[in-house]
């Protein structure tokens, strides 16, 4: 009977796997192929074999990760090679073999012997691919959603031009446990977010980000609203209001004759979603009537809000809105004149009203801003329309930006720039979700324009609530390097050997 004998040099992950199929490269350090007379007929040293395996989940409490963000121990599960054959395939499939100076007819026999060996002894390969803690109870109840409730895995070749493969532990969170219906795959594009400083990624799906970041942002934007006033789209990718809601109380008009208005946003008039690297906010059909009468004002606004990570100090980073990009905003303010009202008699007041909505306190301080609005406004027989991209005109003075933040924090009776108000309200909520602490609008303005970060906490605790539940063997997170939006939340970390 033919047989093989020898010892392994190493087994290592090999590029080329996909989905649940992992490729391993196995090297023989020394070995022999024996014939029926127990004679050595071939030396197997330096033989290289490529095999395909799947992983399976095993409960192993000895591998428990100590999670300081949870109040209980949870249950430890590990991913290891599945030693059980399935209905459709063996536990191990040999994909390729490389022998030195062995003829093809003998190679085929040796392949079969190795096939028998692998499938009879695969349980001896005890390498752990990842450890996941389940059934954890977070100390911070607001972060219970980020604790894993089920998991799987996937491998994926990198995009063209990259030599490495991606390995991902796929966690179900938010208390969801059903996983069988989900696709076991990775998006190769995430390979673009690796760098010399980032060799590990934590990715929160767009659906989870919508629920746990954008819904709170909508609540902070529309004061007095409740979670049940909003709906998440069927695909879980956007937020909208189900019922008419008040935008807020805003001061408009001139300094001599100010008034407070509360624009009403119709059902489905507010849409918030994540588009690429930005949060997109769209308000359509928000209306109010000034107390002075004569017109009905309707506001439509579309904003693309960018965010960035900056270093608070050499060891900590924070997440802040990029307020310098406020000009990525289009705004339409239509003022329908009542029948019997002469436009010429009210136009000055309408221009000041528009200016107070777009530029805030500049309507009271700088006549040049009112002139700029007038130059960008169209007059008709029954309509006064301002319709511009803010990048086309310079309306937001530094005073307007700071005063908008002050009004939001202290409630002063001053006009606010509505685009800046939106950006700051959404930014407050997003940053607070990361830092786990409330942040003022003024803190965000200081961070964006003065590089003063004292009022904003690092988001390491947020990240730690997840990283303390997942571990790759013999590695640790040396630092959190970055966070960005990429149709999902992508946090980059630096992994080092323990």
Share of the chain above pLDDT 70, in %: 99
Judged against a pLDDT cut of 60, whether residue 387 lies above it is answered with yes
Higher confidence at residue 266 or residue 346?
266
What is the pLDDT at residue 384? 92
pLDDT band at 122 (very low <50, low <70, confident <90, very high): confident
In the structure encoding, which two tokens stand for residue 416, read together? 């606010």
SS3 at position 59:
strand
- CA–CA separation, 337 vs 334, rounded Å? 10
Instruction: Say how far residue 200 (Cα) sits from the centre of its chain.
Output: 15
pLDDT tens digit sequence for 237-280: 899 999 999 999 999 999 999 999 999 999 999 999 999 889 99
What is the pLDDT at residue 191? 82
In the structure encoding, which two tokens stand for residue 1, read together? 């009977």
User: What are the Cα distances from residue 439, in Å, to 87, 232, 368, 430?
Assistant: 56, 25, 33, 10
Averaged pLDDT, 47-57: 94
Judged against a pLDDT cut of 70, whether residue 109 lies above it is answered with yes
What is the pLDDT at residue 161? 57
Mean pLDDT of the chain: 91
User: What are the Cα distances from residue 59, in Å, to 132, 133, 134, 248, 400?
Assistant: 10, 10, 10, 52, 58
Decide if 272 contacts 280 (C-beta within 8 A).
yes
| Angle, CA 447 vertex, CA 441 and CA 451 arms, to 5° | 155
Judged against a pLDDT cut of 80, whether residue 160 lies above it is answered with no
Share of the chain above pLDDT 90, in %: 67
Decide if 171 contacts 151 (C-beta within 8 A).
yes
What is the pLDDT at residue 426? 97
Averaged pLDDT, 17-28: 92
The number of C-alpha atoms within 13 Å of 224 and in the hemisphere containing its C-beta is: 8
Instruction: Say how far residue 307 (Cα) sits from the centre of its chain.
Output: 11
The number of C-alpha atoms within 13 Å of 114 and in the hemisphere containing its C-beta is: 28
pLDDT tens digit sequence for 72-100: 999 999 999 998 877 677 899 999 999 99
Decide if 158 contacts 132 (C-beta within 8 A).
no
Nearest CA to 359 out of 290, 415, 423 is that of: 415
Instruction: Say how far residue 446 (Cα) sits from the centre of its chain.
Output: 25
Judged against a pLDDT cut of 60, whether residue 228 lies above it is answered with yes
Averaged pLDDT, 480-496: 89
Task: Find the length of the chain.
Answer: 498
What is the pLDDT at residue 184? 84
């Amino acid at each position: 009977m033919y047989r093989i004998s020898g010892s392994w040099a190493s087994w290592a992950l090999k590029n080329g796997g996909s989905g649940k199929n992992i490729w391993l490269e196995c090297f023989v350090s020394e070995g022999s192929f024996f014939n029926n007379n127990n004679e050595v007929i071939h030396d197997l040293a330096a033989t290289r074999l490529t095999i395909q395996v799947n992983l399976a989940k095993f409960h192993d409490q000895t591998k428990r990760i100590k999670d300081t963000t949870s109040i209980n121990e949870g249950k430890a599960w590990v991913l290891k090679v599945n030693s059980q054959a399935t209905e459709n395939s063996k536990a191990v499939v040999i994909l390729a073999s490389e022998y030195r100076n062995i003829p093809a007819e003998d190679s085929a026999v040796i392949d079969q012997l190795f096939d028998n060996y692998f499938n009879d002894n695969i349980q001896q390969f005890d390498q752990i691919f990842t450890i996941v803690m389940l059934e954890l109870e977070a100390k911070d109840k607001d972060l219970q959603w980020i604790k894993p409730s089920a998991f799987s895995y996937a491998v994926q070749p990198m995009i063209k031009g990259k030599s490495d493969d991606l390995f991902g532990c796929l966690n179900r969170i938010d208390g969801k446990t059903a996983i069988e219906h989900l696709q076991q795959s990775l998006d190769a594009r995430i390979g673009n977010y690796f760098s010399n400083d980032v060799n590990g990624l934590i990715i929160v799906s767009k659906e989870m980000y919508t629920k746990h970041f954008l819904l709170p942002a909508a609540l902070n934007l529309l004061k007095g609203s409740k979670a049940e006033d909003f709906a998440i789209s069927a695909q879980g990718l956007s937020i909208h209001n189900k019922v008419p809601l008040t935008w807020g109380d805003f001061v408009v008009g001139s300094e001599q004759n100010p008034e407070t208005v509360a624009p009403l946003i119709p059902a489905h008039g507010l849409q918030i979603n994540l588009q690429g690297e930005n949060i997109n906010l769209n308000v359509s059909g928000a209306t109010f009537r000034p107390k002075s009468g004569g017109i009905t004002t309707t506001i439509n606004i579309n904003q693309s809000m960018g965010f960035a990570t900056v270093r608070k100090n050499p060891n900590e980073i924070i997440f802040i809105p990029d307020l310098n990009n406020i000009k990525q905003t289009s705004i339409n303010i239509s003022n329908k004149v009542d029948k019997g009202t002469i436009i010429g008699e009210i136009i000055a007041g309408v221009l000041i009203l528009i200016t107070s909505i777009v530029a805030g306190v500049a309507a009271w301080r700088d006549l040049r801003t009112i002139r700029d609005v007038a130059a960008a406004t169209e007059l008709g027989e029954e309509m006064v329309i301002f319709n511009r991209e803010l990048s086309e005109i310079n309306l937001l003075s530094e005073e307007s930006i700071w005063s908008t933040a002050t009004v939001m924090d202290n409630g002063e009776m001053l006009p606010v720039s509505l685009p800046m108000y939106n950006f700051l309200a959404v930014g407050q909520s997003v940053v607070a979700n990361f830092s786990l602490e409330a942040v003022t609008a003024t803190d965000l303005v200081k961070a964006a324009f003065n590089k003063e970060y004292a009022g904003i906490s690092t988001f390491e605790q947020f990240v730690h609530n997840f990283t303390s539940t997942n571990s790759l063997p013999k590695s640790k997170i040396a630092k959190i390097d970055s966070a960005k939006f990429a149709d999902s939340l992508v946090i980059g970390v630096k992994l080092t050997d323990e």
